[in-house]
Amino acid sequence: MGKQAMALALLCAVLLAATADDAAAAASSCNPSALSACAPALFGRAVTLGCCASLRAQQPCLCQYKRDPANRAYVNGPAAQRFTRACGLTQMKC
């Protein structure tokens, strides 16, 4: 194996390890209680900037919440769709 091929293989291994670390870090930061800023909007109040910021921060976790029976109703319900539109987020595709 030439030096260039070995360097490329090493670079790929480092990138794969970094990607796995990023995915693990994202999964470990999933916390449904971080969405508590959206609680008033569940009861008809306006969607706030704080709610939108929380949704953006937790967006990588929403599919995980959708699979969790304890959180499914909040993520799938009409309020969640309203939040998504109000915050300008794309619809999640799980």
Q: What percent of the chain has pLDDT over 70?
A: 70
What's the mean per-residue pLDDT of the chain? Answer: 74
User: 0.85 cut: is pTM over it?
Assistant: no
For residue 27, what pLDDT band results from cuts at 50, 70 and 90? Answer: very low
Q: Which CATH architecture has domain 48-94?
A: Orthogonal Bundle (1.10)
Q: Quick one: tokens of 49?
A: 């900037």
**d(Cα 24, Cα 2) in Å, to the nearest integer?**
33
Average pLDDT over residues 68-90: 88
The predicted structure's pLDDT at residue 18 = 33
In contact, 64 and 94? CB cutoff 8 Å: no
Separation between Cα atoms, residue 22 and residue 20, nearest integer Å: 5
Residue 5 CA to residue 16 CA, distance in Å, equals 16
Structure tokens at 7: 């360097």
pLDDT bracket for residue 12 (50, 70, 90): very low
